[in-house]
Structure 1
Amino acid sequence: MSKIAFVYPGQGTQYVGMGKELYENNERARLLFDKIFSSLDIDLKKVMFEGPEETLKSTEYTQPAIVGLSLVLTELLKERGIRPNYVAGHSVGEFAAFGGAEYLSLEEAVKLVAKRGEIMKKVAAKVDGTMAAILGLDSGKIQEVLRNISGVAEAVNFNEPNQTVIAGTREAIEAACVALKEAGAKRAMPLAVSGPFHSSLMKEAGEELKKYADKLNFNIGEIKIIANTTATFLDSNEETKDEIYRQSFGPVKWIDTINKLKAEGVTKIYEVGPGKVLAGLIKKIDKDIEVINIDSLESLKTL
């Protein structure tokens, strides 16, 4: 029997006005958003709906904005009778997965990711780090080249067979981009990010976030989460807390995640949240999986 998965996008998919149409035209969405907004110490509603863009791009706003919209859309999908067998999220999207799998309540998941955004901003400000996307070179070759780079330069996001993201100190990543192009990469593109996310430079963020996560009780239920760092299921409270800790400075194994979903019998994936980035990556990993984007009121109406 074919199975369904929900997947959740990460940072970079945000835009000013995200969720506003839903808020103004769907009473259930408005109630859910108000729950989220009232649970936070920041004015997320104003920044999401009105901007400015620079503020929305700041990590402590971006992360709860993406996760908040993703989870409101998830609730509306479930109310239409569409429930996933599995969930997974790309980077910060994993925190939407905690809510989507009902391991945490809507407000708990958004408060957790808001804390993550706050901590990651603080830790990233201490290190002069960045990230770059490497296109057209096998991840094994990328890792081989990085071993010869001075300083911290690590492969962190294994997005699809021809796209791997690297992260580390600014100087090391600049040197790595040159070396990787010489090794055959088609492109090595610096990313407009505020830190070296998922690299070992962010370990302090993982340690701080774990202290916060230790206070939470995860309701491990029927819907299973596939973890970013291992591409295996999270089956217990301890495993879930350990993933929250490791994910801050560990890899996003997206190729392995999609292959795991396929192996579990998933034939249809709903990308739930802003943008269509994951749909593009999934098609490059496995063309046979059907992907449906749920990012707006209109997309819900067409179901």
Structure 2
Amino acid sequence: MKHAFVFPGQGAQFTGMGKSFYDNNAQARSLFEKANEILGFRISDIMFEGSEEDLKQTKVTQPAVFLHSVIGYLCLTNPRPEMTAGHSLGEFSALVANGALGFEEALRLVAIRANAMQKACEITPSTMAVVLGLDDAKVEEICATITDDVVVPANYNCPGQLVISGTKTAIARAIDLLKAAGAKRAMELAVGGAFHSPLMAPAQAELAAAIEKATFNTPICPVYQNVVAKAVTDPQEIRQNLISQLTGAVKWTQCVQAMIADGAGRFTEVGPGKVLQGLIAKIDKNAATDGISTGLEEAVAK
């Protein structure tokens, strides 16, 4: 059975994240200081001591979650991934883990992505909503009935949990229709905008330009990318899928199913929280999961 490493996305952040790595490991300290230099502000201070509001800003959240995940991974002793995947932003962490991107290159791309998405959010009042207890096909069908506005499936998290994305008005209409169709729950999320929808198109050109200039290597193992939900090893395909991901859906359920079909028997989540471990258990109750989320002592123990 193969060992898969998976990495969380935006929403997993918490005050104090990464501090135990910094306090206990010289390599981690060096990487945090390099990140502060690249970003032009002390993100480590915000991660360790900032408020929940400070951490919620997209331009902070995305690099913070990336840093927590990647520094945690790089502090592991000989992790040897046989496949990797990340949820949305987490895909960049997955690409560092499998060697497709270097740490500094990936951090620069994450910062550009975060700022571009923040700007796109400011253009149109938009949001996301989580839908529980309906089949994916029913949610897709209801979104498709709203033809005069933007609302699309955005995150296929696990069976019975799908996040939709769109304008504020379209999301409000969709929530009413989804509840009427029998959703156990349909509620707006506290997010900055309509991620993974056509409303992110203004951010795409900026990210695409940066990705085209970046150096991508042939990875040591496949990455299962969000928009295609299958193993990818070709650097040019990886680039294109990263660009498409901004406006395309995160097919997390399908990614995990593909990894299991290709032999994944153990999933290790590296990064803040345990969200992906919970989703994987709902996708396949037989999948073995564990995680590295808080500090070096955990990393060593694994």
TM-score bracket for this pair, using the shorter chain length: over 0.9
| Gap runs ≥5 in structure 1 | none
Identity %: 43
Given candidates 87, 91, 95, the residue that maps to 2:88 is 91
- Tell me how large the CA RMSD over aligned residues is: 1.1
Amino acid at match of 1:45: S
Provide the C-alpha distance between the structure 2 equivalents of 1:250 and 1:167, rounded to a whole number of angstroms: 11
CA distance in 2, matches of 1:6, 1:32: 20
| Residue of structure 2 in register with 1:26 after alignment | 25
Pairing partner for 1:145 from 133, 142, 146: 142
Once the two structures are TM-superposed, the CA of residue 58 in structure 1 deviates from its matched residue by 0.2
The aligned amino acid for 2:198 is S
Count of aligned pairs: 300
In structure 2, the residue matched to 1:67 is: 66
Which of 168, 193, 198 aligns to 2:191? It is 193
In the other structure, the counterpart of 2:250 is 252
Query: Is 2:209 the partner of 1:211?
Result: yes
Name the amino acid aligned to 1:99: V
Question: How far did 1:128 drift?
Answer: 0.9
Helix, strand or coil at the partner of 2:156: strand
How far apart in 2 are the matches of 1:26 and 1:190? 40
Return the alpha-carbon distance in structure 1 between the equivalents of residues 128 and 113 of structure 2.
19
Q: Which amino acid counterpart does residue 142 of structure 1 have in structure 2?
A: V
**Superposition pairs for residues 39-118 of structure 1, below 5 Å?**
39-77=38-76, 80-118=77-115
Matches within 5 A, 1:243-282: 243-282=241-280
- Is 1:163 the counterpart of 2:161 in the alignment? yes
Residue 235 of structure 1 deviates from its aligned partner by 2.6
Structure 1 residue 105: deviation in Å?
1.0
Q: 1:124 corresponds to which residue? A: 121
The Cα of 1:31 is off from its aligned counterpart by 1.8
Deviation of 1:37 (Å): 2.1
The partner residue of 1:283 within 281, 284, 295 is 281
Q: CA deviation at 1:301?
A: 3.7
Give the secondary-structure state (helix, strand or coil) at the position aligned to 1:102: coil
Is there any run of 5+ residues in structure 2 with no aligned partner, and where? none
Number of the residue aligned with 2:34: 35
> In the aligned structure 2, how far is the partner of 1:137 from the partner of 1:82?
38
Q: TM-score normalised to the size of structure 2? A: 0.97
CA contact (8 A) 1:37 1:43 kept: yes
- Structure 1, residues 163-185: CA drift from partner, whole Å, max 9, x if none? 00000000000010010000010
Deviates most, 100-109 or 84-93: 100-109
Q: Is the 8 A contact 1:130 1:168 kept in 2?
A: yes
* TM-score with structure 1 setting the length: 0.96
State how far apart, in whole Å, the 2-side matches of 1:259 and 1:204 are: 32
Q: C-alpha separation between the residues in 2 aligned to 1:73 and 1:180?
A: 39
Structure 1 residue 43: Cα displacement:
2.3
In the TM superposition, residue 83 of structure 1 has moved relative to its aligned partner by 1.3
**Structure 2: distance between partners of 1:244 and 1:299:** 30
For 2:222 and 2:72, the matched residues in 1 are separated by 19
Shift of 1:16: 1.2
Greater alpha carbon shift after TM alignment, 264-273 vs 217-226: 217-226
1:42 Cα shift? 2.8
- More off after superposition, 278-287 vs 144-153: 144-153
Partners of 2:144 and 2:199 in 1: how far apart? 16
